[in-house]
A and B are shown apart, each in its own frame.
Chain A
Amino acid sequence: MKTISVEDATAMIPNGASLMIGGFMGVGTPQRLIDELVRQGKRNLVVIANDTAVPGSGIGKLVSAGLVDKTIASHIGLNPETQQQMIAGKMAVDLVPQGTLIERIRAGGVGLGGVLTATGVGTIVEEGKRRIEVDGRSYLLETALRADFALVHAFLADYIGNLSYALTARNFNPVVAMAADTVIATADHIVPVGVIAPDHVVTPAAVVDYLVANR
């Protein structure tokens, strides 16, 4: 794990990169990395996240700035700009049931090719997917998802990059932290090693590549 400035961390991300971004309606989203992506004008991004928040907040800022070519999310209903860009053909949007989305990401991070879920069987979500019967019940094969970068926000990070999360700001963060080639974390507080008790570490430092320094 290396500590890095928010500018240098963002500079590593090329145009066209795929990004898994933690957060749920902007709660637990790595806001400083989002702001810096907008400032540096990184384009043609593929965003994998629960939702696109609301215009001007969290991932909504990337959408407002027109930086996203494709979004894979479970809900875009509170961001009219995402819907407008989708309808205008400016952004491709894959809508995925939330439980399926998080399991596809989890599978990508834990060495599985995919998961079998009954969610979506017999609905338009099934289109183009394999249906598999197990013990008389029907499931869809939902394939694993990975990304070039995971952008993660923690409550506490220690000096070597162990992470713990706060309340409902945990959401997608520890799961996306497993499923990308490069993991960049921000934290509300950076604390000495040992302040986060071993039992309370949720994301082990060993999977975190970069910790963004606080100011």
Chain B
Amino acid sequence: MDAQTVIARRIARELRPGMLVNLGIGIPTLVANYVPKDISVFFQSENGLIGTGPIPEEGMAHPTLTDAGGRPVTALPGACTFDSAMSFALIRGGHVDMTVLGGLQVDAQGRLANWMIPGKMVPGMGGAMDLVTGAKRVIVAMQHTAKGKPKIVKTCSLPLTSVRPIELVVTELAVIGFAGGQATLLETAPGVSAAEVIRATEARLAMATEIQEMAL
């Protein structure tokens, strides 16, 4: 199983029936492929849709039914559409139960940086700052390291997305939580030891009383 699949499958296990969920671009989008069979959740696209379905079959795309990247999607039965003020009222107002976002860095207290690299990548924050500030649970889906360098760091060198700490970061090596403002190793991926996770992490990690193996 490749890193992205491990991350997406583990995060899908956080879904609960009836949740309103917003998935960011990249690895987070893959979570929709692993929704447990026995539950149904609402996926929001921040361009104004709840009930986002899979990519349409060839020839079935409609120019006014798109995701936040402007790509064609489908709408599931029970879907609804709305303007951008309503879309962000849902996000900022705490109505989104869970958001899954990509990450560049997460610090020891769970603060996320994921929207710019000064001088290199300035795409704009889009909806990321509102999502991290307003969603009930924030889960970050990212590879544990980038070019061998830890992404879970003592202090973010990149501009923060929000000062609100995230709940969980899920990587191909581990699940780390931030209860009490302290990065804590909760789970390790099959075949990965706690020592390996610690070596790949710059932030100091507290150990959960019982570190579980990541269920996939």
Contacts and interface: CB of A to CB of B under 8 A. Distances in A.
Interface string A165-182: 111111111110000000
Interface in A42-93: 50-51, 53-54, 73-78, 83, 86
A97 B63 CA distance: 25
Given A167-B65, A168-B48, A170-B81, A123 B122 contact: no
A123 B88 contact: no
Interface string B71-87: 00001000001111101
Nearest to A24: B47
Nearest to A188: B64
A122 B47 CA distance: 26
B48 to A, nearest CB: 5
Contacts of B63: 27, 169
Interface in B122-136: 122-130, 133-134
A96 B135 CA distance: 19
A123 B47 contact: no
Interface stretch (A32-40, A112-120, A192-200): A112-120
Contacts of A157: none
Interface string B148-168: 000000000001111110000
B46 interface: yes
B111 to A, nearest CB: 9
Interface stretch (A6-14, A100-108, A206-214): A100-108
A28 interface: yes
Contact of B129 (A125, A155, A171): A125
Nearest to B162: A123
Given A119-B92, A171-B83, A74 B70 contact: no
Contacts of B134: 99, 118-119
A24 B121 CA distance: 21
A117 B64 CA distance: 30
B6 interface: no
B194 interface: no
B62 to A, nearest CB: 7
Interface string B22-58: 0000000000000000000000011111000000000
A16 interface: no
12 contacts: A27-B64, A50-B84, A77-B123, A98-B88, A99-B91, A103-B85, A120-B162, A123-B163, A165-B83, A167-B48, A168-B49, A171-B47
Of all A-B residue pairs in the complex, the 5 with the closest CB atoms, nearest first, are A77-B123, A25-B70, A99-B88, A122-B163, A99-B130
Given A99-B92, A121-B162, A175-B83, 20 more contacts: A24-B84, A25-B66, A26-B70, A54-B70, A76-B124, A77-B121, A77-B126, A95-B122, A99-B134, A100-B129, A102-B83, A117-B133, A118-B134, A122-B160, A122-B163, A123-B160, A168-B81, A169-B63, A169-B64, A171-B47
Interface of B: 45-49, 62-66, 68-70, 75, 81-85, 87-88, 91-92, 121-130, 133-134, 159-164
Interface of A: 24-28, 50-51, 53-54, 73-78, 83, 86, 95, 97-100, 102-103, 106, 117-125, 155, 165-175, 202
